[in-house]
């Protein structure tokens, strides 16, 4: 067996309407199921999204588990740390993301220069951490994969 690519991420969420607004309206994902506006989602229990690129049938699936679901444990734990979303190819696109996140009231948890990527870290309404990143122009990590292990530094935009 050989993995070809990461196909999709599935997240449990407390409130589907809140999470749909975050992923669709703040991060710009294209909602594909169920169709229509957020009001039509009541009782649907799930929502699927695809990135604007249309790379695959769906890349994100949200499943509502309700307000009584256990929260994510804080600190070091087994499980997902974060997932990364490439949002462009320049720091200007990261700056635009900072502006949009600020307008939407989404706090930035961190900003890191990974030398091959420049990254912002945020959390969704349920506390799932998301890395928003750009590949640094001119860095050829394919020719030198050791660059991926370069110690990170604070990102200055």
Average pLDDT, the chain: 91
Q: What is the pLDDT of residues 4-15, one digit of tens each?
A: 888 999 999 999
Residues 23 and 58 in one domain: yes
pLDDT bin (cut points 50, 70, 90) of residue 3 is confident
User: Does residue 50 contact residue 32 with C-beta atoms inside 8 Å?
Assistant: yes
Tell me, rounded to whole angstroms, the distance of Cα 85 from its chain centroid.
Answer: 5
- What is the number of structural domains in the chain? 2
Lookup: tokens for 109:
């948890």
Which of 139, 77, 149, 154 lies closest to 108 in space, CA to CA?
154
State yes or no: pLDDT of 38 exceeds 60: no
Instruction: Determine, yes or no, domain membership for 30.
Output: yes
pLDDT bin (cut points 50, 70, 90) of residue 47 is very high
Which of 16, 35, 15, 19 lies closest to 27 in space, CA to CA?
19
User: Does residue 73 contact residue 24 with C-beta atoms inside 8 Å?
Assistant: no
Percent of the chain with pLDDT over 70: 94
Instruction: Determine, yes or no, domain membership for 121.
Output: yes
Last residue of a domain, one of 38, 64, 90: 64
> Residue 95 belongs to what domain range?
82-154
pTM of the predicted model, to two decimals? 0.91
CATH of residue 96's domain is 3.30.720.110
Residues 53 and 91 in one domain: no
CATH of residue 13's domain is 3.10.180.10
Instruction: Determine, yes or no, domain membership for 92.
Output: yes
Instruction: Determine, yes or no, domain membership for 72.
Output: no
How far are the Cα atoms of 92, 94, 124 from residue 18, in angstroms, in the given order? 28, 24, 10
Cα R_g (the chain), whole angstroms: 17
State yes or no: pLDDT of 42 exceeds 90: no
Rounded to 5 degrees, what are φ and ψ at 120? -110, 145
State yes or no: pLDDT of 72 exceeds 90: no
Instruction: Determine, yes or no, domain membership for 2.
Output: no
Q: What is the pLDDT of residues 93-143, one digit of tens each?
A: 999 999 999 999 999 999 999 999 999 999 999 999 999 999 999 999 999
User: Does residue 156 contact residue 49 with C-beta atoms inside 8 Å?
Assistant: no
Lookup: tokens for 84:
């990364």
Owner of token pair 């890395």: 131
> For position 14, what pLDDT does the model report?
95
Residues 59 and 88 in one domain: no
Residues 45 and 109 in one domain: no
Q: Rounded to whole angstroms, how far apart are CA atoms 146 and 37?
A: 46
Task: Tell me how long the chain is.
Answer: 157
> For position 34, what pLDDT does the model report?
82
Instruction: Determine, yes or no, domain membership for 23.
Output: yes
Residues 44 and 101 in one domain: no
């Amino acid at each position: 067996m050989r993995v070809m690519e990461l196909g999709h991420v599935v997240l449990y969420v407390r409130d589907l309407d809140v999470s749909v607004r975050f992923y669709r309206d703040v991060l710009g994902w294209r909602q594909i199921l169920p169709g229509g506006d957020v009001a039509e989602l009541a009782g649907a229990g799930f929502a699927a999204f695809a990135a604007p690129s249309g790379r695959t049938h769906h890349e994100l699936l949200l499943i509502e588990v309700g307000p009584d679901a256990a929260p994510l444990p804080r600190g070091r734990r087994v499980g997902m740390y974060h997932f990364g979303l490439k949002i462009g190819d320049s720091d200007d696109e990261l700056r635009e993301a900072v502006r949009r996140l600020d307008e939407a009231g989404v706090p930035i948890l961190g900003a890191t220069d990974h030398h091959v990527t420049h990254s912002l870290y945020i959390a969704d309404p349920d506390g799932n951490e998301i890395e928003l990143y750009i590949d640094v122009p001119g860095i050829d990590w394919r020719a030198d994969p050791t660059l991926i292990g370069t110690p990170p530094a604070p990102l200055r935009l």
